[in-house]
Amino acid sequence: MTSKVPEVFRTLGENLRVPEGDMRFMEAQGIVCADELFFRHPTAEKLEEWMTEVMSPRTFLFDEVADRWAEGDRLDDANQPVQARAWLRNTVAASLRRLWEASKAAAKRDLQRATEEADVRVPKALNPVVVSDLQNKADARGIARFPESERPGHSALAKVASNFRSNGPWSYLVWETFISEDEEALQRRNRPSGSVSYTHLTLPTKRIV
């Protein structure tokens, strides 16, 4: 995720002409990547508050005598409010806003990717619609469609998916687990609750290694 890489944030700041002193000042506050800059100030209003209250009065200045960077005053205390308003309209403030906009885009892009990856890892509830979608995808791949007397039922598929999820038990499933759609339908007709029973099955708990 590029929004969490400090080196990328540094390069972005250089490309957008954010002064070195301001980059160092943000780093001193723990803002070392695009993700931190955006999610600490998630709206334009919060950004302007932060720039007014934090960034306008202070920055890092280079001490040529000591040959090092050190935090110091950007504005004179005597006329700070007027100078702060003027600073918010200058090119440095504009560069910081551009950096925030770029950070916003990068952070949201990475968040979207992480969400999509999580959706792939978390199995969907195996309701009839999902099962039908899986069957259609199998058809598209040229996998032969089995008759209902041989095709695994929805409850069987759900049991297998639950067993082999990332944090599942990964137990050995006996052959009787894979009952067909016909068998499931028969069990539902014969049981008052309309559910499928697996009480006749004994599943070992030993993990597959």
Cα angle for residues 76, 79, 82 (degrees, 5° grid): 115
Token readout for 160 is 């297998």
31 with 101, same domain: the answer is yes
85 with 134, same domain: the answer is no
Last residue of a domain, one of 67, 92, 121: 121
- Residue 70 in any domain: the answer is yes
72 with 145, same domain: the answer is no
97 with 149, same domain: the answer is no
- Residue 67 in any domain: the answer is yes
What is the spatial distance between Cα 92 and Cα 51, in angstroms, rounded to a whole number? 11
Q: Each residue of 37-86: pLDDT tens digit? A: 999 999 999 999 999 999 999 999 999 988 999 999 998 776 788 899 99
What is the spatial distance between Cα 172 and Cα 164, in angstroms, rounded to a whole number? 10
- Residue 57 in any domain: the answer is yes
132 with 117, same domain: the answer is no
- Residue 38 in any domain: the answer is yes
7 with 98, same domain: the answer is yes
User: What confidence score (pLDDT) does residue 130 get?
Assistant: 75
117 with 146, same domain: the answer is no
116 with 135, same domain: the answer is no
- Residue 14 in any domain: the answer is yes
DSSP codes, 25-38:
HHHHTT--SHHHHH
Last residue of a domain, one of 60, 94, 121: 121
- Residue 197 in any domain: the answer is no
How many Cβ atoms are within 10 Å of 182's Cβ, its own excluded? 14
- Residue 204 in any domain: the answer is no
Q: Each residue of 127-184: pLDDT tens digit? A: 777 777 777 888 888 888 777 777 777 777 777 777 777 667 777 767 666 777 777 7
Q: In the Cβ-directed half-sphere of 27, how many Cα atoms lie within 13 Å?
A: 17
Measured CA to CA in angstroms, residue 65 lies from 25, 32, 68, 69, 70 at distances of 20, 27, 8, 11, 12
20 with 55, same domain: the answer is yes
- Please give the tally of structural domains in the chain: 2
User: What confidence score (pLDDT) does residue 191 get?
Assistant: 67
104 with 177, same domain: the answer is no
> Is pLDDT of 119 > 60?
no
Q: Which range of residues forms the domain containing residue 29?
A: 2-121
Name the more confident of 156 and 198. 156
116 with 137, same domain: the answer is no
158 with 98, same domain: the answer is no
Last residue of a domain, one of 66, 99, 121: 121
User: What confidence score (pLDDT) does residue 208 get?
Assistant: 40
119-124: average pLDDT:
50
- Residue 6 in any domain: the answer is yes
User: What confidence score (pLDDT) does residue 126 get?
Assistant: 65
Identify the CA nearest to 3 among candidates 100, 107, 97: 107
User: What confidence score (pLDDT) does residue 205 get?
Assistant: 40
Per-residue pLDDT band for 118 (boundaries 50, 70, 90) equals low
pTM, two decimal places: 0.57
